[in-house]
């Protein structure tokens, strides 16, 4: 495979996987306004559980120790991986989502992420500690028997199929009354409560659903890179995904996926032109995270809605009321056309069909 093709293929696979991950984070943050700074831990749990289920039993004689090793096929391992992340989110959510305001909750998530990271690294028998796991079987390769190049394209296809499924799921969720209730929680918790919404239950559900998607994406990620240790899921990685979501556009699923395509490329390329020869290699990583930080600040400062802003729902023409029979009286503060002249509808993504997507689920 020519190097350029290989490079683009790698980017595409990462784009699809990060796209999936960004969609999950979008349900938590974009829809519901939950500040989840342990998102990467959900990715890791899904990745670990899926891999550990698919791996052969561990062979301590070769210096590898991990739990499970059940040689499961891909699909059930993937689902259980997602469910494991969802279960973790459920536990964290039950403990903390009810009691803590969003910023305090965010601090709790950072700490839980760090605790899990430290345990995974230091308690070697669970996931082989800092050395990590590797040699995870390639999904469906038993049946397909493809050469390495073709398998690369097959795996890309697999990732894209899952991305599309998650995208369709997320869109349906967004348009449903359930999604609207989530957004009402995001906008104003007290109003939502006043309207009879069980805010805690809604936030818990969104948190768990997002974590499930994180687990699925994490499984694909770990299988693709085929070597996974705790250094791959530091808190910095969480902000990497946050940068993707915020740059692309919170609460817009296409925006989330777009950000997930752009940010990894920026991340990899941002340091390309540094004079690397006389810098210690760890500086490169540090510069990359600085670049992510700068990107986050610039996005929030200059385009807080992201590249693709949240879509505005419009009532479909077919659903409008029949023209009013001239209403009696009224007077007072009438809404005139002048009030509507300054239409901020330019925040839309410009798609000519945006206007047709009404409240019509």
Does residue 82 contact residue 215 with C-beta atoms inside 8 Å? yes
Helices marked H in the chain: 3-25, 39-54, 74-96, 102-122, 124-127, 141-144, 148-175, 177-187, 189-194, 199-225, 235-248, 253-269, 281-302, 337-341
Asked if 325 is part of the footprint of other proteins (rule: CB under 8 A), the reply reads no
Asked if 173 is part of the footprint of other proteins (rule: CB under 8 A), the reply reads yes
Asked if 310 is part of the footprint of other proteins (rule: CB under 8 A), the reply reads yes
Question: Residues 6 or more apart from 193 whose CB is under 8 A from it?
Answer: 199
Judged by CB, which is closer to other proteins: 3, or 330? 330
Q: Binders of other proteins among 233-292, rule CB under 8 A?
A: 251
Judged by CB, which is closer to other proteins: 281, or 331? 331
Judged by CB, which is closer to other proteins: 147, or 337? 337
Judged by CB, which is closer to other proteins: 278, or 327? 327
- Helix 199-225, helix 74-96: angle, nearest 10: 140
Distance of alpha carbon 233 from alpha carbon 230, whole angstroms: 6
Does residue 34 contact residue 209 with C-beta atoms inside 8 Å? no
Asked if 350 is part of the footprint of other proteins (rule: CB under 8 A), the reply reads no
CA angle 247, 253, 258 (to 5 degrees): 45
Q: Binders of other proteins among 28-87, rule CB under 8 A?
A: none
Judged by CB, which is closer to other proteins: 236, or 355? 355
Asked if 196 is part of the footprint of other proteins (rule: CB under 8 A), the reply reads yes
Nearest distance from C-beta of residue 355 to other proteins, angstroms: 9
The full DSSP string for 294-322 is HHHHHHHHH-TT-SSPPPPP---GGGSPP
Asked if 181 is part of the footprint of other proteins (rule: CB under 8 A), the reply reads yes
Q: Of the candidates 153, 154, 169, 289, which one interacts with other proteins according to CB under 8 A?
A: 169
Judged by CB, which is closer to other proteins: 3, or 177? 177
Question: Under the rule (CB under 8 A), what is the footprint of other proteins?
Answer: 169, 172-173, 176-181, 183-184, 187-188, 190-199, 205, 209, 251, 310, 312-315, 319-321, 324, 327, 330-335, 339-340, 343-344, 359-361
């Amino acid at each position: 495979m020519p190097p350029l093709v290989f490079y683009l293929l790698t980017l595409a696979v990462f784009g699809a996987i990060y796209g999936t991950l960004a969609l999950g984070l979008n349900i938590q943050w974009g829809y519901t306004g939950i500040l989840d700074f342990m998102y990467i831990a959900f990715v890791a749990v899904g990745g670990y559980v899926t891999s550990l289920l698919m791996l052969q039993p561990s062979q301590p004689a070769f210096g590898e120790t991990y739990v499970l090793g059940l040689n499961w096929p891909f699909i059930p391992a993937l689902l259980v991986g997602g469910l494991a992340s969802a279960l973790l989110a459920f536990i964290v959510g039950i403990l903390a989502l009810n009691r803590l305001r969003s910023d305090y909750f965010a601090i709790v998530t950072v700490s839980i992420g760090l605790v899990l990271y430290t345990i995974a690294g230091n308690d070697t028998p669970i996931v082989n500690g800092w050395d990590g796991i590797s040699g995870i079987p390639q999904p469906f390769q038993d049946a397909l028997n493809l050469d390495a190049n073709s398998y690369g394209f097959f795996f890309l296809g697999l990732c894209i199929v899952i991305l599309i499924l998650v995208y369709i799921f997320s869109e349906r969720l967004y348009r449903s009354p359930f999604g609207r209730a989530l957004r009402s929680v995001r906008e104003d918790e007290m109003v939502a409560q006043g309207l009879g919404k069980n805010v805690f239950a809604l936030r818990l559900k969104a948190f768990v659903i997002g974590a499930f998607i994180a687990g699925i994406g994490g499984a694909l990620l770990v299988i693709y890179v085929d070597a996974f240790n705790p250094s791959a899921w530091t808190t910095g990685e969480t902000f990497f995904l946050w940068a993707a979501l915020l740059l692309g556009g919170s609460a817009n699923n296409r925006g989330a996926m777009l950000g997930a395509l752009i940010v990894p490329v920026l991340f990899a390329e941002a340091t390309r032109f540094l004079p690397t020869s006389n810098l210690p290699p760890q500086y490169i990583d540090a510069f990359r995270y600085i670049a992510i930080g700068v990107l986050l600040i610039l996005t929030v400062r200059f385009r807080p809605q992201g590249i693709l802003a949240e879509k505005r729902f419009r009532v479909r023409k077919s659903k409008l009321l029949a023209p009013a029979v001239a209403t009696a009286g009224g007077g007072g503060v009438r809404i005139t056309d002048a009030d509507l002249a300054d239409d901020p509808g330019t925040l839309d993504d410009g798609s000519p069909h945006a206007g047709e997507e009404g409240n019509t689920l």
